[in-house]
Copies of this chain bind each other. A is one copy, B any other.
Amino acid sequence: MKKGVDNMCPVFNESSQSNAPLTDRIFDLLQDSIIKGDIPAGSKISEPELAKTYGVSRGTLREALSRLEERHLVVRSPNHGVRVVSLSYEELIETYQIREVLGGLGSRLAARNMTDEEIAGLRALLYEHEKSIEEDQGLSYYQKEGEFDFHYLVLRGSRNKKLLDILDGGLYQLIRMYRYQVSTTSSRPSHALKEHHRIVDAIEERDEELADYLMCRHIRTARISVEERHRNMKAENDNNG
């Protein structure tokens, strides 16, 4: 499963090594469970119960929860406990707005700083994705996570660590969560791939401005698609209600 792309991109679960501190592993596990919906969005968390589930002490778990809270994946109200965020449409759009300009910046910097080898690797990834789309097998993986692999490589190429921190450590999560929840199989994956190729073209030609512009537009397209889907769902609800 996951084909050759497996382990290519350490974006998620950075510290799941079995020798890493327990708290870190719990943090990763929890984050994954929240994003994938194993722990339902909006549900309340019982610290003793969760601690028993993962087989760790409450203090250890609370440390992980503190970090999750800092990442806005859970919300804690004093004396009332912790509950998983319930992603709102507005928040999702806000996230896309930010991702748009940051993605643009990342792409621009990537055009400036990426090595030729890295660019080749990026292109290779896209061919992987193409194959994945043709076969039904990898399709679901590509649409759920594959796109992040691409964006991750670009971000790495930007040489701006803070940028990667922000996007990988807090911003992507919401979007991934959304994808898992509404299982949004982007209607035209091949179209997205074409856009990816164009972005790599621009990076390859060291055309910073174009790379910036194309990435912005690419993400804006995704946002608009979400907005459309939302309008449709709302209209449908209004009809049924």
Q: CA A31 – CA B58 in complex, angstroms?
A: 25
Tell whether, in the assembled complex, residue A163 and residue B98 are in contact, meaning their CB atoms are under 8 Å apart: yes
**A182 located at the interface, meaning its Cβ lies under 8 Å from any Cβ of chain B in the complex:** no
Residues in chain B near residue A21, CB distance under 8 A = 78
Residues in chain B near residue A20, CB distance under 8 A = 78
Q: How many copies of the polypeptide does the oligomer hold?
A: 2
Residues in chain B near residue A64, CB distance under 8 A = 66
Q: CA A193 – CA B198 in complex, angstroms?
A: 42
Question: In the assembled complex, how far is the CB of residue A134 from the closest CB belonging to chain B, in whole angstroms?
Answer: 36
Q: CA A158 – CA B205 in complex, angstroms?
A: 35
**A191 located at the interface, meaning its Cβ lies under 8 Å from any Cβ of chain B in the complex:** no
Residues in chain B near residue A163, CB distance under 8 A = 94, 97-98
Task: Identify the stretch in A45-53, A100-108, A115-123, A141-149 within 8 Å (CB) of chain B at 4 or more residues.
Answer: A100-108
Tell whether, in the assembled complex, residue A166 and residue B98 are in contact, meaning their CB atoms are under 8 Å apart: yes
Tell whether, in the assembled complex, residue B105 and residue A162 are in contact, meaning their CB atoms are under 8 Å apart: no
Of the four ranges (under 10, 10 to 19, 20 to 34, 35 or more), the interface on chain A belongs to: 20 to 34
Residues of chain A at the chain B interface (Cβ within 8 Å): 20-21, 23, 59, 62-64, 66-67, 69-72, 78, 91, 94-95, 97-98, 101-102, 104-105, 109, 160-163, 165-166, 169-171
Given contacts A64-B66, A66-B67, A97-B109, 20 further A-B contacts (CB under 8 A): A20-B78, A21-B78, A23-B66, A59-B59, A63-B63, A63-B66, A66-B70, A67-B70, A70-B70, A70-B169, A91-B161, A91-B162, A94-B162, A98-B102, A98-B160, A98-B163, A98-B166, A162-B171, A166-B166, A166-B170
